[in-house]
Chain A
Amino acid sequence: MPFGLYVHWPFCESKCPYCDFNSHVAERIDPERWIAAYRKEIERVANLTRDQVLSTIFFGGGTPSLMRPDVVAAVIDAARAAWRSSNTLEITMEANPGSVEVGRFHGYRDAGVNRVSLGIQSLDDQHLRLLGRKHTRSDALRAIEVAQSVFTRVNLDLMYGRQHQTVQDWRNELSFALGLGAGHMSLYQLTIEDGTVFGRRHAAGQLHGLPDEDLSVDFFHATLELCDAAGLPAYEVSNHATHDEQCRHNLIYWRAGMYAAIGPGAHGRLGSGADRRATEAIRDPAAWLTAVENRGTGDLAITPISAAEQATEALLMGLRLTAGIPLTELRALGIDTETWPSRRRLTESGHLTESAETLRTTLQGRLLLNAVLSELTSDLKVAQT
């Protein structure tokens, strides 16, 4: 099972109105302090995961493309020194398509980054403004072009189901985006989260033109259809790629694998079986820095995860994948895959596929995944492993 490292960079130039991630707008950042802190954290978590072979590194945020390339290089070097690493180490960075960021792409590549995930969100200037994005359509197109020339693997992040967007608008936009030739597409329906500007506006009834449930279904089907036709089938609810281009780091999450996580607010999963633990870092960047410097750890808590909790996590992550979860893995987690009435019921109702090898949702089931999970976990029987 591959092992990955997640590095959280918590800063953004400005906060987007739909975003509920742990991101902050800082006045001044001291790169040297951050390098030292990341190094210290890498050493600490490496001591907890000594025998692991590092397969992936993922810089997420925030806006990691605001990191100076030497900070990125320092983190990657420290990780390579701390763990044995795989020959095909995948190093992904989330990047904004702004001109400043694009100027650093060569530096990131030289630091070791080999995959970039571009937060395009939309190719329509008016929509970009509505989404609070600083870049324009032409910035985005330029960024894609540079990224494709610098990195071997490029992902485009786009959002649909935006205010007043029609399915035809989206088909046009997505077709164009697919024509740009990226090997991976992350296509998310805009979700209104509590605690965001959109959340507050929505609660106040001021966010108009969002799609209803039926229209959302139409968006979803249009997305699948166009991506399939472009040779990028969905391998996860919102992610589309050819087999080789799938994000190996994110697959660790969805396969309930092991990942160390450093940086403010980062969540990790270490160990397996009775040793499985969740790590959670302090969210506030300044507090995290101080804690790492003074206490030698940025983690707020390391919590054991029970067999039942591991089973639930394996289901809620794994059923997002088109490929589903091998039953052998579920059994290894102590799940009784046979005495499971909801599984039979959901198979009969066409939400799960009939299979002796995997537990897998049908398309209909994936559209209703929250309900499917709620059913499946209601009568889940898990033995202590």
Chain B
Amino acid sequence: MTQLDLIRNFSIVAHIDHGKSTLADRLIQSTGTVADRDMKAQLLDSMDIERERGITIKANTVRIDYLAKDGKTYVLNLIDTPGHVDFAYEVSRSMRAVEGSLLVVDASQGVEAQTLANVYHALDAGHEIVPVLNKIDLPAAEPERVKENIEDVIGLDASNAVMISAKTGLGIPDVLEAIVTRLPAPKGDRNAPLKAMLVDSWYDAYLGVVVMIRVMDGVVRKGDRIKMIQTGAAYGIDRLAVLRPQMVDWHELGPGEIGVFTASIKQVRDTRVGDTITHEKKPCAAPLPGFKPAQPVVFCGLFPVDAADFEDLRDAIEKLALNDASFSSEMETSAALGFGFRCGFLGLLHLEVIRDRLEREYDLDLITTAPSVVYHVHMRDGTMRELHNPADMPDLTHVDHIEEPRIKATIMVPDEYLGDILKLCQDRRGIQSNLTYAGNRAMVEYDLPLNEVVFDFYDRLKSVTKGYASFDYSITGYREDYLVKMSILVNDEPVDALSMMVHRDRAEARGRSMVEKLKDLIPRHMFKIPIQAAIGSRVIARETLSAMRKDVTAKCYGGDATRKRKLLDKQKAGKKKMRQFGKVEIPQEAFINALKMDG
């Protein structure tokens, strides 16, 4: 057990690419927590997807022992948090478990929108914040300008910001000293009854559910009988450990300490993040305030390409759900796609991550239907229905009006791109609510419909600003608008998986873009295929895919039989990646690519 004044708990707030994971790697490495030979980049990002995309999805923790200049050895607990807006919820709850944050800002880029959002989470959690300017070794670095930027945008004193280069290791000792000298030690009473916060939990194939806790008061030991106050469930602690970042068995955890335990818990859903853990026999008086569970905001259908894989998909979704309580699913049947699941996500990145994981970790081929937000359909009889799937749109004669979710979007961008951003937001039915400048960077706030953002807003934003814009949003509420269901007909058959809710004024443009895309995405058949977009029975856009006219091998003799046969077998396997709609086969990529918008 560690003395309170020798503990520092902190997180790192940074925009993607500003060097958060590299800094974490350096802190771990320079303190000898992980031997050099075991070091790899983005050490705390354990998922392939995290490493590939250079993002953090799940919060991760490491306990570092640091011998400070004052001659004392401190325990530093770093919680590495996700940077992306979809996982803001995960960030805010992780921040409750620590007392301070390092604010890492790229010395040439300045503060970005997501940084801002996460700094506010840190301030909300009452954190002490140490600004760190990274990449100061780069020629483009402008530390003084960025310091001003921090002061202007966040209102944080940046005069004694730590100057570092995480890449070269420059300034890393200063960061460690700043953590010890400038961040507060945790508080707590070792003799009080146990009170610990459930920070996170995840499923490990070997260990079952692993629960991460932050002890507030009291002491927890291996073998203790503990109780979770909200769920009321009691367990015996099988294993108590700290993360370095691998699990290392630990005898006990006292106030201010962060660690993990296992306790024969079956699934992640049995644990509630933010719950208070105490001893069964000697409970604490008042529980911690707890958190609201995260609500999915984007829904889409996931269907197996090969209908025979439905059971495998069901198993995979159940297993993923073990580890991700923020992702919801229920069975769905589509006329075109057969059996699948309607799934809810925290945002588009979350959707992509889950889909990638299902495909890679469970070796499934999936069709993803158009992402949809949750609409409020107000019926003439005064009732309200939540619409997660355009296919469930009730008969219009019974509908009084429809409301859609709106967001407040915060975008930060160098002023030369401001015009493009304003146009993009305008095109997506946005209403500007604020525009301010800090140096040559603009911060613009828009009130936008979420459904205009779920498709490819973020991709468009990045492309029109060459990656210089950053974006964050929060849902503000619901508002009525003129929304209609647009259907897509291929060879006169409606393809339910491509139907979507759109604003009436945008329907023609959307419909046109969809049918043009589909014309390129659907391979030619032996007959011509009309592709139409329609609102009700009214066709608003139409294209015709011409018929294939000649496709025959000129020479085929004895030596060609094997090769041609193998080619046909390969095509047969390829056909499994197609979906049959009446007489037409649509490749699975078409479902995803048809939804991407240009401009």
The interface of chain A, by Cβ under 8 A from chain B, is 6, 188-191, 213-214, 216-217, 220, 237-238, 250, 252-253, 256, 259, 261, 265-269, 278, 280, 309, 312-313, 316-317, 320, 345, 349, 351, 366-374, 377-378
Does A266 lie within 8 Å of B559, measured CB to CB?
A: yes
Does B561 lie within 8 Å of A345, measured CB to CB?
A: no
Does B568 lie within 8 Å of A312, measured CB to CB?
A: yes
Task: Please tell me which stretch of B47-55, B162-170, B546-554 contacts chain A, meaning at least 4 of its Cβ atoms lie within 8 angstroms of it.
Answer: B546-554
- Partner of A237 from the list B552, B564, B572 (CB cut-off 8 Å) is B552
Does A188 lie within 8 Å of B551, measured CB to CB?
A: no
Does A369 lie within 8 Å of B569, measured CB to CB?
A: no
Contacts A265-B559, A313-B561, A374-B571 given; does A345 touch B554 at CB 8 Å? no
Write out the residue numbers on chain A whose beta carbons fall within 8 Å of the beta carbon of B527. Answer: 349
Residue on B nearest A361 in the bound complex, by CB: B552
Determine how close the nearest CB of chain A comes to the CB of B196; give it in whole angstroms: 59
> What would 20 A/B residue contacts be, using CB atoms closer than 8 Å?
A213-B549, A214-B549, A220-B550, A237-B552, A237-B554, A250-B557, A252-B558, A253-B558, A265-B559, A266-B559, A309-B565, A312-B565, A312-B568, A313-B565, A317-B561, A320-B556, A367-B549, A371-B525, A371-B548, A371-B551
Cα distance A252–B554 in the bound complex, in angstroms: 18
B583: Cβ under 8 A from any A Cβ = yes
Cβ proximity bits B513-528 to A, threshold 8 Å, 1 near / 0 not: 0000000000001110
Interface size on B, residues (CB 8 A): 25
- Partner of B562 from the list A6, A256, A278 (CB cut-off 8 Å) is A278
Determine how close the nearest CB of chain A comes to the CB of B286; give it in whole angstroms: 67
Does A280 lie within 8 Å of B562, measured CB to CB?
A: yes
Does B562 lie within 8 Å of A267, measured CB to CB?
A: yes
Does B551 lie within 8 Å of A370, measured CB to CB?
A: yes
Determine how close the nearest CB of chain A comes to the CB of B269; give it in whole angstroms: 42
Cα distance A265–B560 in the bound complex, in angstroms: 11
Does B556 lie within 8 Å of A316, measured CB to CB?
A: yes
Cα distance A351–B552 in the bound complex, in angstroms: 13
Write out the residue numbers on chain B whose beta carbons fall within 8 Å of the beta carbon of A253. Answer: 556-558, 561
Contacts A238-B555, A280-B562 given; does A368 touch B568 at CB 8 Å? no
B575: Cβ under 8 A from any A Cβ = yes
Cα distance A176–B569 in the bound complex, in angstroms: 42
Determine how close the nearest CB of chain B comes to the CB of A308; give it in whole angstroms: 9
Determine how close the nearest CB of chain B comes to the CB of A9; give it in whole angstroms: 13
Residue of A188, A280, A349, A368 with most partner-chain B CB within 10 A: A368
Cα distance A189–B571 in the bound complex, in angstroms: 23
Determine how close the nearest CB of chain B comes to the CB of A357; give it in whole angstroms: 24
Determine how close the nearest CB of chain B comes to the CB of A248; give it in whole angstroms: 13
Those 4 A-B pairs whose CB atoms lie nearest each other, nearest first: A369-B552, A188-B554, A267-B559, A253-B558
Does A267 lie within 8 Å of B561, measured CB to CB?
A: yes
Cα distance A253–B555 in the bound complex, in angstroms: 12
Write out the residue numbers on chain B whose beta carbons fall within 8 Å of the beta carbon of A269. Answer: 558, 561
Interface class of chain B by DSSP? loop
Determine how close the nearest CB of chain A comes to the CB of B529; give it in whole angstroms: 13
Cα distance A378–B562 in the bound complex, in angstroms: 17
Determine how close the nearest CB of chain B comes to the CB of A260; give it in whole angstroms: 10
Residue on A nearest B563 in the bound complex, by CB: A267
Cβ proximity bits B522-552 to A, threshold 8 Å, 1 near / 0 not: 0001110000000000000000000011111
Residue on A nearest B551 in the bound complex, by CB: A370
- Partner of B526 from the list A189, A216, A317, A371 (CB cut-off 8 Å) is A371
Write out the residue numbers on chain B whose beta carbons fall within 8 Å of the beta carbon of A189. Answer: 554
Write out the residue numbers on chain B whose beta carbons fall within 8 Å of the beta carbon of A256. Answer: 561
- Partner of B556 from the list A6, A259, A317, A345 (CB cut-off 8 Å) is A317
Cβ proximity bits B273-309 to A, threshold 8 Å, 1 near / 0 not: 0000000000000000000000000000000000000
- Partner of A370 from the list B552, B557, B558, B572 (CB cut-off 8 Å) is B552
Write out the residue numbers on chain A whose beta carbons fall within 8 Å of the beta carbon of B525. Answer: 371
Does B565 lie within 8 Å of A261, measured CB to CB?
A: no
Determine how close the nearest CB of chain A comes to the CB of B135; give it in whole angstroms: 42
Residue on A nearest B558 in the bound complex, by CB: A253
Write out the residue numbers on chain B whose beta carbons fall within 8 Å of the beta carbon of A377. Answer: 568, 572
Determine how close the nearest CB of chain B comes to the CB of A379; give it in whole angstroms: 10
Does A217 lie within 8 Å of B559, measured CB to CB?
A: no
Cβ proximity bits B185-228 to A, threshold 8 Å, 1 near / 0 not: 00000000000000000000000000000000000000000000
Does B554 lie within 8 Å of A351, measured CB to CB?
A: no
Cα distance A300–B412 in the bound complex, in angstroms: 65
Write out the residue numbers on chain A whose beta carbons fall within 8 Å of the beta carbon of B583. Answer: 345
Write out the residue numbers on chain B whose beta carbons fall within 8 Å of the beta carbon of A370. Answer: 551-553
- Partner of A216 from the list B550, B556, B565 (CB cut-off 8 Å) is B550
Residues 57-99 of B at the A interface (beta carbon under 8 Å) = none
Residues 243-286 of B at the A interface (beta carbon under 8 Å) = none
Cβ proximity bits B463-491 to A, threshold 8 Å, 1 near / 0 not: 00000000000000000000000000000
- Partner of A217 from the list B549, B556, B558 (CB cut-off 8 Å) is B549
Write out the residue numbers on chain A whose beta carbons fall within 8 Å of the beta carbon of B555. Answer: 188, 191, 238
Write out the residue numbers on chain A whose beta carbons fall within 8 Å of the beta carbon of B551. Answer: 367-371
Cβ proximity bits B394-423 to A, threshold 8 Å, 1 near / 0 not: 000000000000000000000000000000
Cα distance A259–B572 in the bound complex, in angstroms: 28
Cα distance A214–B547 in the bound complex, in angstroms: 11
Residue on B nearest A21 in the bound complex, by CB: B559
Residue of B550, B553, B569 with most partner-chain A CB within 10 A: B550
